[in-house]
Structure 1
Amino acid sequence: MLNNKNHIRTYIKKILSEMDELAHKNSSQTIHTRLFLTDYWTESKVIAITVSRGREIETIPIIQKAWSEQKKVLVPKCYPKTNEMEFREITSLHQLEQVYFGLSEPKVQVTNLVLPNQIDLIIVPGVCFDQKGYRIGYGGGYYDRYLEAFRGRTLSLSFRFQLVDEVPREAHDRAVQLIVTEDEVIHCDRND
């Protein structure tokens, strides 16, 4: 199973890395527009989201839109030694720092920890997704562990080529409730 996940992850990451800059920008903007029209977005006041890098769907415009709507923005802080993750509120991009693998994370000394029960929506990153909301992430398992006890809403953003027929899954994998692509909004809980 792990071999198959790694193969799919590598294949989709290669396609992502080869994505044309203009297509990337246009597709990201289309996905943003669809996201902003969902109830998940409009009804949420506290949103957790990663800071994108490379050819991932751009998230800085989402963060800025959230601030313009007086939403709280949370960014994950990961602790590789313990495989734990927490979300911290940022009010400025200056509160971020570059850490391992070029990830942007909140500076602990200038941000506040937010507990899971205070979060309305987590925008869950991933490399690829299936219609049931299962995903292949980046291999650390941080989100699957965090989502075990999370009871709020979850969604993922995906380019259409990141959708696959079926993601190999294990007992600890957690599905998201909604996937937003350039073409559609998929209600995963209706696809069981």
Structure 2
Amino acid sequence: MQSEWGDELEKKELRKHIIQRLQTIPDADRASIEEALTGHLVSSAVWQQADVIGITVSHGLEWNTEPIIQTAWKEGKTVCVPKCHPENRQMDFYIIHDYDQLETVYYKLREPIPEKTEKVAKQAIDLLVVPGLLFDREGYRVGFGGGYYDRFLTDFVHDKLALAANCQVVEKLPAEPFDIPVDAIITENGFLQQGGV
């Protein structure tokens, strides 16, 4: 891959390229990568120090987060998951104790039911697992195009990391002034870059 990319049009091409690449990963390899990602995360110091974990309920091509959520519950951690508000591209996190507190919304996303859950303040989240399609070695990312995490991260002060296969990491991505990098990336080989964690 090239070392530099430019504008939003190129980001769309990058999304298309990596989605095609992820779709070709055999199931056995995907399961092996997911097991490694989960293992590296839940054995890390940043995980052990965190009481409140913010994480998406995975779907589609995203790496399976269910084992991570189950581990957090088993260890007595608080799990909160996002609910997106398409009208303003904002999102809030709600504490869940089981999957019965979720509903399926647009694009088959599973999100918390506000009436059955408790909203959590942004700064109460100790560790945020940030999804994305591509990352560079400085922690900048190309997401799924909704912009929800870009907005959420603007004043988020605690640890934020991402899970990505080696094929999702490149040297350099286009970064806008408002883009906020994650502090660390975990690949199947372990922590790629330590940043702030």
Q: TM-score, normalised by structure 1?
A: 0.96
- CA deviations 1:53-101 (Å, max 9, x no partner) are 1232110000000000000001000000111101000000111111111
Output the CA distance in 2 between the equivalents of 1:180 and 1:113. Answer: 28
Measure how far apart 1:117 and its partner are.
1.4
SS in 2 for 1:148: helix
5+ residue gaps, structure 1: none
CA RMSD of aligned residues (A): 1.1
2:75 maps to 1:69: yes
Aligned with 1:93 (options 96, 99, 105): 99
- CA deviations 1:121-141 (Å, max 9, x no partner) are 100000010110000001111
SS in 1 for 2:81: strand
Aligned with 1:157 (options 163, 181, 188): 163
Map of 1:124 onto structure 2: 130
Map of 2:63 onto structure 1: 57
Q: Specify the code of the residue in structure 2 equivalent to 1:48.
A: G
Output the CA distance in 1 between the equivalents of 2:194 and 2:15. Answer: 21
Output the CA distance in 1 between the equivalents of 2:126 and 2:167. Answer: 28
Q: TM-score, normalised by structure 2?
A: 0.94
Output the CA distance in 1 between the equivalents of 2:104 and 2:130. Answer: 20
Output the CA distance in 2 between the equivalents of 1:167 and 1:150. Answer: 22
5+ residue gaps, structure 2: 1-6
Q: Specify the code of the residue in structure 1 equivalent to 2:117.
A: T
Q: Specify the code of the residue in structure 2 equivalent to 1:142.
A: Y
Output the CA distance in 2 between the equivalents of 1:116 and 1:54. Answer: 26
Measure how far apart 1:150 and its partner are.
0.7
Measure how far apart 1:187 and its partner are.
2.5
- Is the Cα–Cα contact under 8 Å of residues 131 and 188 in structure 1 kept in the other structure? no
SS in 1 for 2:14: helix
2:148 maps to 1:142: yes
Output the CA distance in 2 between the equivalents of 1:97 and 1:25. Answer: 25
Aligned with 2:48 (options 42, 45, 59): 42
2:73 maps to 1:29: no
Measure how far apart 1:185 and its partner are.
0.2
